[in-house]
A and B are shown apart, each in its own frame.
Chain A
Amino acid sequence: MAENPKISPLGDRGILIEFDEEVSENLLQKLLFYKKIIQNSKAKLKLEVTNTYNSLLISYVFTIEDIYSEVSRLKQLVSGANITKFNNYKIFSIPVCYDPEFGLDLEHISREKNLSLEPIIELHTAPEYLIYFIGFLPGFLYLGGLDEKLKISRKNTPRKSVEKGAIGIGENQTGIYPKSSPGGWQIIGRSPVELFDKNKKIPSPFSAGDRIRFFSVSKEEFYEIEKQVGAGTYTLKVEDHEG
């Protein structure tokens, strides 16, 4: 049987831990649990642990002199650990304006899925989305939990520029563009909140394992919140949950 998880070097400054399992919330909890154990272990080397759907990457500031002894240290840490408790998490409420002025592809989705605007908003605001990890762009959340009924393929030709805060759907994923960038997702709305603020000590309020919920706001409310965000007076609604 193949080794699970598989722990192997990734260059001179990285070690990859890969789990041969289906992507799930359960696997994420496992990853976050191991991540914490590795972060809290007494490492001689300066390191950082990040997770994706099914992997942990341990990246080191300097070249690892003896990569195999570091790999076996990690193997021992991982094999000796039993999950005792799930992580505590936060639930954030994110305002979204689903006005067609922002939701550039709402009409397209409406036609493709044979749904009017109201049910699209209902389907998108109903779930509690799980943040698997942040990657791709600073502040970009990889979210799980999109309703199957909203699943739609990406645009054939990506847009040269998608606005900051745009909410999109691509296949079975939904997400928020943290800054203006080229993008191929179908755009359904826009959020006025800041996902990544380089001037803050902790630049993003979100962590892997947290959850978010979208709620629908009018255009007037969007501009009001945008103003508050700009003035630094807007606070995201957050609930704390025990794991």
Chain B
Amino acid sequence: MKAEIEVLQPGLFSSIQDLGRFGFQKYGAPQSGVMDRYAMRICNLLLGNPQEASVLEMTFQGPKLKFNSETRICITGADLSPQVNDEPVANFEQIHVKPGDILKFGRRKKGFRSYLGISGGFNTETTMGSQSWYEGITSDFRLKKGMKLAFSEEKFSETDTYSSIRIDSEYMANDEIEVYPGPEFELLPQTHCTRLFNSEFSIEDSSNRMAVQFKDSLQNELEPITTGPVLPGTVQLTPSGNLIILMRDCQTTGGYPRILQLSETGIQVLSQKMPGEKIKLKKINYQHNGAK
């Protein structure tokens, strides 16, 4: 019998993700990959997995999943009140599951995106070098009822809990998003910069893995640019004044001025913000030797 998880209920929006798809941007394929890389890294560390092992990214409302085989799992990122067989289990800890066990989630307590890691990673299809789901590139792009997610069977053994790993979950409560100046930052008049870094921006409902947008706008006279490269974390400013923060599933090129670029920490913090929440942009500069 193949080791797999059966999806009893899909939750709001869940997808298999890894670090992303690399080497295919030249064909216009987005990078994809987990929104919150920190949560994925901690999850795999706690399980003793390779750092690139795939995880299930679960947004706001988690799924209901049934295991047919014994394994170890770990949940990181947002706290969506996970329960195994109706008993609450903790985030950031190894959990031993047995055949027939049911993992489900309840009320969201903190953060927006939660990650389910499994010993050895998920064993789902690899397309163009990555397991990350993306509509148009992989056959599945969101979790559906009745789906089966294969995972590597392991000879189960009690492993040390990695108690020496320092876990920081405080970032989820942070409302400051770190940004570097982007390629077109210099074109912004001073008054706009002041507004940019002294205002609160309220996250739009339409925000998703492709982009985060805001209810607030910034009137401007910036000209469109010659279509140029963009990356996850690029902040575009449209002629109508909308700020668009490109996220992991974003396109590879764009024609709007790129006024800011989020740091990886900035992307991580923003990934845990819900529509309706307010954020502030905090300007940082590039430093030598990676010291931040």
Contact = CB atoms under 8 A, between A and B. Distances in A.
Contacts of A23: 226
Interface string B10-46: 0000000001101111111111000000000000000
B28 A136 contact: yes
Given A8-B183, A134-B27, A203-B27, A13 B231 contact: yes
A64 B290 CA distance: 8
A208 interface: yes
B183 A61 contact: no
A130 interface: no
Contacts, number: 119
Interface residues of B, number: 38
Contacts of B234: 10-11
B209 to A, nearest CB: 16
A143 interface: no
A179 B29 CA distance: 13
Contacts of B263: 11-12
Given A50-B252, A55-B229, A135-B227, A11 B27 contact: no
Contacts of B191: none
Interface stretch (A65-73, A98-106, A115-123): A65-73
A138 interface: yes
Contact of A136 (B23, B182, B253): B253
Interface of chain B, main secondary structure: loop
B19 A18 contact: no
Contacts of B27: 134, 138-139, 196, 203-204
Given A48-B22, A61-B22, A198-B137, A14 B231 contact: yes
A11 B264 contact: yes
A243 to B, nearest CB: 18
Contact of B28 (A54, A61, A196): A196
Interface of A: 8-14, 16, 18, 23, 46, 48, 50, 52-57, 59, 61, 63-68, 133-140, 142, 178-179, 196, 198, 203-204, 207-208
6 contacts: A54-B228, A134-B28, A138-B30, A142-B253, A198-B137, A204-B28
Interface of B: 19-20, 22-31, 127-128, 136-138, 180, 182-183, 226-229, 231, 233-234, 251-253, 261-264, 286, 288-290
